[in-house]
Structure formats: structure tokens, C-alpha cells
Amino acid sequence: MSQVTSAHAVEPAESPLTPESWGKLGMWIFLAGDAMTFGALLAGYGALRAANGIEWPDPTQVLGINLTAFMTFLLICSSVTMVKGLSAIAHGNAKRMRLFLLLTILGGVIFLGLQAYEWTHLIVDKKVLFSTFEGKSSLFGTTFYSITGFHGAHVTGGVIYLSVIVVGSFLGKPWAKKYNIVEIAGLYWHFVDLIWILVFTFIYLIPNPTTA
């Protein structure tokens, strides 16, 4: 009887996390922390904008909505090519994976180029500076450049991240042709795209109710 009881008391050991799942877990933890950082930045922007009221410039009048709408569309397309690249390596087609990852990288590079153009236009032509706007002290420029610049840094990191995988694949590195490696990179890239949609909505699209 005691032998039967002891046999039932033994529970099967849980299988440990594999290196692949550890990598994905690590990325999810990083993205969760990053999401809170972006959330704090956007919340701070909203609070400052609400506190300044009529003194806050109308973003729909100052910023280039058409340009940033195209930038948003570009990042959405890059998410599609990222999915295509992941699907290609899932079927063992490294050549197609490289093609779609290169298209994703190209989308990121064009996005960064357009953001640099936007910043130059705002600073040189419209005099939207970090500490002043329209000849008076304003937090508009400071918050705008901080949030969009922080996101731009993430896009730059994503471009470098994907470039390392593509170069490793060209060099025949086994790790660069693993599904989980591309999948983890895809999680990061989709996160960056999602954050930009939020940034675009909150900073560019919402008009100032005092001037609408």
C-alpha cells in the first residue's frame, strides 16, 4: 500500500526552457519594459499638452501629415515583408528569407531618411526648435523630438539587428538560418511598427481642440 502511495506522490518533472524559448522570453521581457517607457513618454506628452492648453501649437498645422502617413504605410509594408521572411525560413528557403529581410531593411532605411528630412524641414524652415517655437518658450519641440527620436533610435537598432542576420546568412552561419532567430527579430520589428502607429496617432493626428 505504501509503495502505491509513494508512486502516486511522484509528479513528473517539468521540462526546462530550451535556448530558443529563453531567447523569445528575453525579447518579450525587453519589449514589455520598452512599452512602458514609450507609454510614459506619450503620457508625459499628453499631460504637458493638456496643461499648456491654447499655448500648445496644433500638430495638424505644424507637422507634415502626408509625409508621416507615407512613413507609417512604409513601416506597415515592412512588417509584411518581415512576415514573408519568417515564412520563407520556416520552409527552409534562406534565399527568399534574405530577399524579404533586405526589403524590410530597405523600408527601415527609407523611413529614417524621411525622418531626417522631416526634422531638417521643421528646424530650418519652420523653426521648431528643442526649446523654442514661434519666438517663445515651448515644450512642443522638446517632446516631439524626444519621442520621435527615441523611436528612430529603435528603428536604427532594428535595421542593424536584421542586417546582422542577413550578413550571417550570406556568410553561411548556421545561427542566421534558424527560425527562432528570425522570429525573435520579427517580434522586435513588429513592436517598433506598432509603437510608430501610436506615435503617429497621438502626436500627428489629434488636433488641438482650442484651435480645431
Domain boundaries, the chain: 21-53+65-205
Judge contact between 86 and 186, C-beta under 8 A. Answer: yes
Tell me the fold of 21-53+65-205. Answer: Four Helix Bundle (Hemerythrin (Met), subunit A) (1.20.120)
Straight-line distance from the first to the last Cα atom of the chain, in angstroms, rounded to the nearest whole number? 81
pLDDT tens series, the chain, 212 aa: 444 444 444 444 445 566 567 888 999 999 999 999 999 999 999 998 888 877 788 888 888 889 999 999 999 999 999 999 999 999 999 999 999 999 999 999 999 999 999 999 999 888 888 877 776 667 888 899 999 999 999 999 999 999 999 999 989 888 878 899 999 999 999 999 999 999 999 999 988 765 54
Please give the Cα distance from 75 to 191 (Å, whole number).
Answer: 11
Q: How does DSSP classify residue 208?
A: -
Name the residue among 120, 111, 119, 125 with its Cα closest to residue 144.
119
Give the pLDDT of residue 166.
Answer: 95
**Model confidence pLDDT, tens digit, residues 104-116:** 999 999 999 999 9
